[in-house]
Structure 1
């Protein structure tokens, strides 16, 4: 496929650099970062979530209309030459394949190149990135030991091998990781950005 725009789906555990690397990718492509916090934040802001306290049951159901509105805007209103970098944590559960397919098919309907990027890093480095002021400000989880337990107990959804680039962000700078993603997109036929 040869195209002028891409949809990059950044996946991985919390704190592995999806938003940070994704921001660099979006900047290099002249595109838009659609971090999961952008979608979750309106609901979590109303609750003034501190990133640690347990969330009420059903909270993620309240986020669904926000996600629908954002993805619908990308599909129906955004210029087809705009690239998007979408971030999320997809746990290995039945709904994950549908969430993945939704982003992949959005790219197809836009005529955009699709690439999934799995971010990985050493668990101690990941946990050290969790309790930071920017995560708290964005209403992202900020409980280091809670995320250590999550990482050790939770398997993530694995995209098809031919659609995914895996990057290790343990010691690689976000800019270098992003450059690797953009190089991969270009090798797959991206012309724009």
Structure 2
């Protein structure tokens, strides 16, 4: 059976890094949020520091829709890993249903995973060099204000919660794969 892993966490929680390890363990294709967002971010001159204009999200939403269509058309044996930050806002909760619906239409097992991480660790991770390369948020003050304003959507019932401040990315991926019964 194929799996659709949905790794959710705030910026800096290690979604992509854990996703890379999980892809190696399971053979799943990693479709992280920056794969979807970066073409639009680059077009708008994103640097990870200056705020993005609100209209970028209408463009990234369209790209995400096309990627989800492709996933639905992919071979039934192919597993996928998506990553996302979901704010604690009513309109964000719908994304969980969107990804669960894609999994159901593919006959894949839906595996929602919430990556938790202490705020101090998140703020410290903003300075990591790979964040600049990937057009990711790099300003600790902006992240702190962002999380104060929007929070993170609480994990739904049944979601696996993983503390990425206390587990290495490789161990977190192993825990997720074991939880899903998805190890090679």
Would the TM-score normalized by the shorter structure come out above 0.5? yes
Deviation, 1:145, is 1.6
State whether structure 2 residue 72 is matched by structure 1 residue 75. yes
Q: Distance in 2 between matches of 1:139 and 1:155?
A: 21
Q: Distance in 1 between matches of 2:127 and 2:72?
A: 34
Q: Secondary structure at the match of 1:114?
A: strand
TM norm structure 2? 0.94
Deviation, 1:127, is 1.0
Deviation, 1:150, is 2.2
Query: 1:114-162 CA deviation, whole Å, 9 max, x = no partner?
Result: 1111111111111111122211211111111211222334322234312
State whether structure 2 residue 175 is matched by structure 1 residue 180. yes
Please say which of residues 120-129 and 142-151 is displaced more in the overlay: 142-151
Q: Secondary structure at the match of 1:106?
A: helix
Alignment correspondent of 1:147:
143
Q: Secondary structure at the match of 2:110?
A: strand
Which consecutive unaligned segments of at least 5 residues does structure 2 have?
A: none
CA contact (8 A) 1:16 1:119 kept: yes
Q: Distance in 2 between matches of 1:182 and 1:147?
A: 29
Alignment correspondent of 1:16:
13
Deviation, 1:69, is 1.0
Alignment correspondent of 1:132:
128
Q: Distance in 2 between matches of 1:58 and 1:185?
A: 36
Root mean square deviation of aligned Cα: 1.4
2:89 alignment partner, one of 89, 93, 109 = 93
Runs of 4+ in 1 over 3 A off after TM superposition: none
Alignment correspondent of 1:120:
116
1:38-117 matches, within 5 Å, as: 38-76=35-73, 78-117=74-113
Aligned length in residues: 184
